[in-house]
Chains A and B, each alone.
Chain A
């Protein structure tokens, strides 16, 4: 029996190898470890399938052979159904030999497919290009190359991951973020260190190109100093409750990419750092409606006297308190999440700090409290068109001048998930500056792109 069966099995085995090694089989170059593992699994599954087929064919051959009247075994054999006939020891031995034979032939290819190369450990890389064409009633027009931003990220080991954002602008290249984040701390904790956007408020931690509108609201520019960039460390805690509650505590040299109060390069006493406390929660009104709420306090116990770009003096060795309350309402119908929805977001900020209100010859620092807010609403009409309106009002942070008000209707057109065109009109009103502004923004994302929880 073995002598009649073995050649067929061998032919089948050779066919199996041929199928697996066919030119159509995916190549090795450019594949990731996941893909290679998947491919191996797929090959294994194919091999299993072939073995099953071979077994069935063998059983069929046996059955047909046994049906011949001249073969005594056929008379004695029970009418076994395919797939249920018990394998004899001899058959099992033959099958084992065939399997070994196939595996022996396959092994070199499997080993080749398993090969790795150093570049496989390279981090994921993405690039964002953000350009704006603008026209301002009093300033004229400009094609503004806003940024070319390269982001890279990867796990470092089982305990931390790292990421960095390098931003090239007309002013040069800057390390916007470069941070290490833990991934496996116990007690629901995440520790972050390096340079990153501090977890302050809502839109302060968005990169410019991720904002829902062309320009960052004036109140964030003036009070936070643009993006909440900070060199330091922060700890985030997810409370073990049914309700989503997180608390972030941070310590930084300073907060705000354009914050001029202190240099990152100068060492300072502990009471010259900025400390953050930020609890936040999420309230699900029902499946489609929800509210995010957060409160933020950035406290600097002592701010040494510094001069702003406007020539104003602040600090005087006294404390600064920057407080922020943010609320975001979302309507996202589950079955139409890509096509319908509304987002309404508002942040109110209060700043309390000492400012020099005296003449140049006789400085007189006085505690000034200023406040401001922005609020925007953005309905989603289709997967492509997102109109919106943003309002901003803020007092001058030094209270030495009047406030700033802006009204900004805009329309975002998502050509795809990776390409966006936005048109915005802004009526800008500040002391001695009332004007219309027009913006056309074109933003694209190349390469790696992740949907981060921070930017949701």
Chain B
């Protein structure tokens, strides 16, 4: 018995020792790859970043895997989109992770929506409106200008927790924002043909993208956010699309293909299939290439290349 206890003790000490050796870098867990990319750019060599989602998921339906609880348990910081985008998995995982440093309102809980003025803030909180987000539409990562504000929130969050590295984070942020600014200027120029084009998406997650590039999001295939389409709704939507001469139907890649295709066919709109976050398609390896992919895919459709 004593020998078994001794073995158990040695095993425990060796495990703890290994954990200590890995502690050199700031361990950051992000909810989506977009934030992981931003954090890597801002944190540089000081951070070790892991993302819970791979990019192909619906941000409202990321599976709550126990292995994520292990990642979060060891994290120094958690970086999230905010505006309750991660309500389906993050609160439960944080509860299971047993890590007080990253609980909501703890310093290690970095909400990247804090500098963003959200769109579609409901003036009535009612489930008859579907699975709405009381603080506003949370799909802010689809607008690169808001991406700058998200990056700023990450830099501020890192500096708040590690003030000794604040200058490095600020410097890296400036470099990253300059890269983003350059890309934004290019996108705004390239996206001129998108101005005034009308789109319908499966879920109301294209509003920030549309707003940035002068497009108009006029409806969704879902009856309400999170409520599956009914035949009656689809018929009304198609009628509205014909009357309003809607140009584009966007299928976010985590939604079913068939219905979006048939709506596009029935109304003569172009079908565009887009990821909702970095990593959603092989070309979208980071945040900039993700926006790049979305802008160019949309342009191809509008200009007849798709």
A-side residues, CB < 8 A to B, are 26, 34-35, 38, 41-42, 45-46, 183-185, 188-190, 238, 240-244, 282, 284, 287, 290, 292, 330, 332, 334-339, 382-384, 416-418, 446, 450-453, 456
Contact = CB atoms under 8 A, between A and B. Distances in A.
B66 A282 contact: yes
B92 A456 contact: yes
A338 B63 CA distance: 9
A42 B65 contact: no
Nearest to A282: B66
B135 A34 contact: yes
A35 B135 CA distance: 7
Contacts of A41: 114-115
B100 interface: yes
B131 interface: yes
A450 B91 contact: yes
Contacts of A46: 117
A243 to B, nearest CB: 8
Given A34-B135, A451-B88, A240 B19 contact: yes
A339 to B, nearest CB: 6
A188 B16 CA distance: 13
Query: What are the 6 closest A-B residue pairs judged by CB atoms, nearest first?
Result: A184-B100, A282-B66, A335-B56, A244-B66, A453-B92, A453-B96
Nearest to A244: B66
A383 B95 CA distance: 26
A453 B131 contact: no
Contacts of B130: 416
Given A334-B57, A451-B89, A238 B253 contact: no
A234 B135 CA distance: 36
A244 B69 CA distance: 8
Interface string B77-92: 0000000000111011
Contacts of B92: 450-453, 456
A238 B98 contact: yes
A244 B70 contact: yes
B44 interface: no
A241 to B, nearest CB: 7
A336 B61 CA distance: 9
A375 B66 CA distance: 22
B256 interface: yes
Contact of A244 (B61, B67, B226): B67
Nearest to A454: B92
Nearest to B127: A418
Contacts of B228: 382-384
Interface string B2-28: 000000000000011001000000000
Contacts of B131: 416-417
20 contacts: A38-B114, A41-B114, A189-B98, A238-B69, A240-B19, A240-B73, A241-B15, A242-B70, A243-B70, A244-B66, A244-B67, A287-B54, A332-B63, A337-B62, A337-B63, A382-B256, A383-B228, A416-B226, A451-B88, A453-B95
A170 to B, nearest CB: 27
Contacts of B88: 451
